[in-house]
Amino acid sequence: MHLIRRNRILRQSPAIRAMVAETILRPSDFIAPLFIIEGAGVKEEISSMQGYYRMSIDLTVQEVKELWGLGIRSVLLFIKCKDELKDNAGTEALNPDGLMQRSIKAIKNACPDMVVMTDVALDPFSTYGHDGIVEGNEIVNDATVEVLAQMSISHARAGADFVAPSDMMDGRIAAIREALESKGLSKTGIMAYSAKYASCFYGPFRDALDSAPGFGDKKTYQMDYANRIEAIKEVLMDVEEGADIVMVKPAMAYLDIIREVRDRVDVPVSAYHVSGEYAMIKAAAQMGWLDENKAILESLTAIRRAGASLIATYFAKDAARMVVG
């Protein structure tokens, strides 16, 4: 055979493959989610997320320093609220001395350059486990948005660099931007969970924070996974309303959405490689059915290749070690 084009030439050695690789992972691509609980010296493994922990503030701070040392540049904070502090108004979410606010301060104190992002939604604080205020069977939009705006101010005042509204209420990005501006918090950014689908892959996360919805599901605010055009509508509106970074969530089953969003916006796109995606890899690896490290790198590279420049992932630390090592 005398072939004119031989594609295998570019695949024949690790050196050539490295030269022509189109997608490269860096530790600063990863956002490390952290689950924080009250107490001191407390580290609890999450049963459905083996190898992942809820930690008290002191241990979280140590973890953040370690992440920084590995080249990770941002963390996304979630707190587990005590049951007795939960209500239907998000009261504890606004407490200036609440666990979230104390966590932000402690992290910024210990590691000032780490970019601290905070989850903004009511579910960890809600007796109903819903992302908003409940009236009857309804998760009411406008009253919820007011609380989310106040919550964002509170996080920004505590030192958060970005607030990350994960609630999917309408109009919250504009309301949050406006609220931040009204208090002179003009440096605080917004990473919007813009195309967040109602997904079964959040199951383990809800175990982590004990935040599963008490009634119904989240389908009246999170998106239907059958929809693609709607994701573009959500993302474009969030950008118009002031989102600095938009997000698609989950990641692996939504690579088409990530790509399409990437092609349509002029802001950074992030993707959330969620708890259920973590759990699947962990479980299969534990059974000896998958090579864990290879599965991690392939998954994260695919998400990056689809168009996400940032990936929130529970594998942030493992991946950071692998991509520099």
Nearer Cβ to ligand PBG, position 114 or 164? 164
Residues 54-83 that bind ligand PBG (CB under 6 A): none
Report the distance separating Cα 243 and Cα 189, nearest Å: 8
Is 234 an interacting residue with respect to ligand PBG (CB under 6 A)?
no
Q: Which stretch binds ligand PBG (CB under 6 A): 24-32, 117-125, 169-177, 291-299?
A: 117-125
Question: What mask of x and - would describe binding to ligand PBG in positions 187 to 216, judged by CB under 6 A?
Answer: ---------------x--xx----------
Catalytic residue among 196, 218, 282, 317: 196
Catalytic residue among 86, 108, 218, 249: 249
- Cβ pair 173, 127 in contact under 8 A: no
249 is catalytic: yes
Nearer Cβ to ligand PBG, position 221 or 261? 221
The phi and psi torsions of 52 (rounded to 5 degrees) equal -120, 145
Residues 146-175 that bind ligand PBG (CB under 6 A): 166-167
Is 119 an interacting residue with respect to ligand PBG (CB under 6 A)?
yes
Whole-Å CA distances, 151 to 41, 100, 156, 317: 27, 10, 9, 29
Short-list 94, 99, 207, CA closest to 154: 94
Is 131 an interacting residue with respect to ligand PBG (CB under 6 A)?
yes
- Cβ pair 246, 265 in contact under 8 A: yes
Is 123 an interacting residue with respect to ligand PBG (CB under 6 A)?
yes
Contacts of residue 8, defined as CB under 8 A and 6 or more positions apart, other chains included, come to: none
233 is catalytic: no
Contacts of residue 74, defined as CB under 8 A and 6 or more positions apart, other chains included, come to: 28, 30, 31, 32, 114, 115, 116, 117, 161, 162, 310
Report the distance separating Cα 296 and Cα 25, nearest Å: 11
Question: Which residues contact ligand PBG by CB under 6 A?
Answer: 119, 121, 123, 131, 166-167, 202, 205-206, 218, 274-275
Would you name the residues annotated as active-site residues?
196, 249
